[in-house]
Amino acid sequence: MRYNRTGDEVFREETTLEPGEQADHNISFEGAGNYTVTATTGDASDEYVWYLESSPPYHELIVTADGREIRFVRSAA
């Protein structure tokens, strides 16, 4: 994940999950603003620009990968 204001990478994690598994990550955000989240599977890659109005955020971002499809969903934390 990259903080777009500075271009700094603020989080990088490689996680191997089996179908139906999930992983949660606690991230220290640099502040409010735009963050680009990139998710990659063996078959696909996609990006999501996540605008945070406050830090820490009051929503979570759920990333789901299913074969060649990656979905990003904001949810109340």
pLDDT tens digit string along 27-50? 888 889 999 999 988 888 999 999
The neighbouring-strand residues paired with 62 are 73
Residue 55 pLDDT > 80: no
> Considering the chain, what is the average pLDDT of its residues?
86
Q: What total number of domains does the chain contain?
A: 1
Residue 77 — very low, low, confident or very high, per pLDDT cuts 50/70/90? low
Q: Would you state the pLDDT for residue 50?
A: 92
Ramachandran assignment for 57, one of left (phi > 0), alpha (psi -120 to 50 degrees), beta (any other)? beta
Q: Mean pLDDT, to the nearest integer, of 44-69?
A: 86
Residue 64 pLDDT > 90: no
Residue 76 pLDDT > 90: no
Q: Domain residues for 49?
A: 2-76
